C-alpha cells in the first residue's frame, strides 16, 4: 500500500470527509482491520483565504509548496490536495516536489466519463467557476462541456461556501438556494452536476438533485485509495 500525502485545512470541515472516506474505502476494499497509510499537513485556512481574496497567489503557492515538501519528506508516495480552488497552483506545487499529485479534476472527469455524461454544470468558488484552470482542464483534456451558473447565482454559491460551509454552518435556506441554482443548470442542459468545492457535499446530497451529482471530495478520496492499493494507474 502506498502512503497517501494530504494537504488539508481548506477547510478542515471537508478535510475530515477526506480522512473518513479514505479509511472507509480502504476497509471496504481490503477488509479486516485495514486502514489507510496517510500523512496530512493541515494549513491555516484564514491565511490562505486572505491571499486568495487579495490575489496573492504566489504567496499561497509558497505556503502549499512548503506543505507539499513536508508531506514528501514524511514518506508520502503521492500527494492529494484536499481542495478544488487551490489546484489553480498545482503546477507550482508539483514543481517543488518529486512525488506525483493526484489531480482532483482528472479524477472527477474520469468518473463523469464512465457515466457517459458529456455536459455538466459546475458549482464551486468564484475562482473555480469563473477561471480557466479547472473548466479548461475538463474541456481540453477530457472533452467535457462545462456550464456555470449566472453571475448572481455564482455570487450566492461563493458566499455560502466561504461564509457558511467553511465554518460548518448548514442552513436550510442555503440548501434551497443551491437546489434552485442546480435546477437552472439542468434547465440549461446540464446532464450532471459537479460539486466543485470540497465543502458542497456537506450541504447537497444525491436526493437533492434531479441529475447525477459528482462530489469531488468523495471522488478524489476514493481515487487516492485506488491509486494507493494499485487498482488505479
Active-site residue 83, yes or no? yes
CB atoms within 10 A of CB 10: 26
Selection from 36, 84, 86, 33 nearest residue 64 by Cα: 86
Set 25, 83, 125, 216: catalytic member: 83
Active-site residue 209, yes or no? no
User: What contacts 147, CB < 8 A, 6 or more positions away?
Assistant: 119, 120, 121, 122, 185, 188, 189, 190
41, containing H or E segment: strand 38-42
CA distance from start to end of the chain: 14
Set 197, 198, 209, 216: catalytic member: 197
57 by Cβ neighbours in 10 Å (0-12 / 13-18 / 19+) ranks as: middle
Rounded Cα distance, 185 and 180, in Å: 9
DSSP string, 102-119: --HHHHHHHHHHHHT--E
Rounded Cα distance, 65 and 89, in Å: 9
Catalytic residues: 83, 197
Amino acid at each position: 500500500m502506498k502512503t497517501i500525502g494530504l494537504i488539508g485545512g481548506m477547510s478542515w470541515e471537508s478535510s475530515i470527509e477526506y480522512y473518513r472516506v479514505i479509511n472507509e474505502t480502504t476497509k471496504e476494499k481490503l477488509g479486516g482491520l485495514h486502514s489507510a497509510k496517510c500523512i496530512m499537513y493541515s494549513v491555516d485556512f484564514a491565511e490562505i483565504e486572505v491571499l486568495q481574496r487579495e490575489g496573492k497567489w504566489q504567496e499561497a503557492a509558497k505556503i502549499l509548496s512548503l506543505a507539499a515538501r513536508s508531506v514528501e519528506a514524511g514518506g508520502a508516495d503521492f500527494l492529494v490536495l484536499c481542495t478544488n480552488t487551490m489546484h489553480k497552483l498545482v503546477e507550482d506545487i508539483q514543481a517543488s516536489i518529486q512525488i506525483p499529485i493526484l489531480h482532483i479534476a482528472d479524477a472527477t472527469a474520469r468518473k463523469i466519463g464512465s457515466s457517459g455524461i458529456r455536459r455538466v454544470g459546475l458549482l464551486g468558488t468564484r475562482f473555480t467557476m469563473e477561471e480557466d484552470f479547472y473548466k479548461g482542464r475538463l474541456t481540453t483534456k477530457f472533452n467535457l462541456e462545462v456550464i456555470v451558473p449566472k453571475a448572481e447565482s455564482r455570487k450566492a454559491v461563493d458566499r455560502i461556501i466561504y461564509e457558511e460551509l467553511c465554518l460548518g454552518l448548514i442552513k436550510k435556506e442555503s440548501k434551497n438556494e443551491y437546489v434552485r441554482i442546480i435546477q437552472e443548470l439542468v434547465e440549461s442542459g446540464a446532464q450532471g452536476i459537479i460539486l466543485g468545492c470540497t465543502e458542497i457535499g456537506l450541504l447537497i446530497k444525491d436526493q437533492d438533485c434531479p441529475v447525477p451529482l459528482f462530489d469531488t471530495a468523495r471522488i478524489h478520496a476514493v481515487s487516492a485509495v485506488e491509486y494507493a492499493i494499485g487498482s488505479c494507474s
